[in-house]
Amino acid sequence: MIIGLLNQKGGVGKTTLAVNLAAELAGTGARVLLLDADPQGSSLDWAAAREGEPLFSVVGLPRATIHKEIGALGRDYDHIIIDGPPRVTDLARSAIMASDMVLIPVQPSPYDVWAAAEVVKLIEEAGVYKDNLKAAFVVNRKIANTAIGRDVGEALAGYPLPTLEASITQRVIFAEAAARGQAVRELDPRGPAAKEVAAVATELLEQNP
């Protein structure tokens, strides 16, 4: 499965979710490739901060030819996670066309909900050429026990895409793990953050058997 994480608004936690999803899938014994298509190279920075054996492969490919090169790059992998660019560009279009599933991380903020319109438009355009393309929102960096955290799902209902049942809560452990080039499942395997990431991964696998 090829999962592309995209949102034209920066700061939504796209890279954090990408590396932790990759780690979760790798933890099942799957061969996983994390493709860093963001010119900022945040996933590559995460990999560089890591000491010890890598959990999965990380490759930088911030070019608008991902959909043409993904076949050769992904030949030896069970899953590919694409950490997409933060802007609507030809690079973003290529990442979408390369994906089986596009996951759109959205923070519980009106600005994030409004900004999602651009990515939804790109997905609809790509669907003309790739009719089996799937897409969904995932609520990320949710603030626990707040009204806005609960209401974001209703706000996203205005778009023609589903929202995953699983969501990710804002937790300090995500930043702590990132600083070490680790995943939350390594720092606290049975903690709430690791369980939330696992729930997102499980839901994605169920939707894309």
User: Which position has the higher pLDDT, 35 or 156?
Assistant: 35
Tokens describing residue 65: 């030819």
Q: For the full predicted model, state whether its pTM sits above 0.95.
A: no
The total of structural domains in the chain comes to 1
CA distance 53 to 68: 30
- Tell me, what DSSP letter sits at residue 99? -
Domain span at residue 67 reads: 2-207
For 175, phi and psi rounded to 5 degrees?
Answer: -70, -40
Q: Nearest to residue 186, comparing CAs of 67, 49, 77?
A: 49
| Gyration radius of the chain over CA positions | 16
Query: What is the per-residue pLDDT across 177-206, written as a single tens digit (0 to 9) for each?
Result: 999 999 999 999 999 999 999 999 999 999
Q: What CATH code is carried by the domain that includes residue 43? A: 3.40.50.300
Q: Collapsing DSSP states into helix, strand and coil, what is residue 101?
A: strand
Tokens describing residue 200: 């997102």
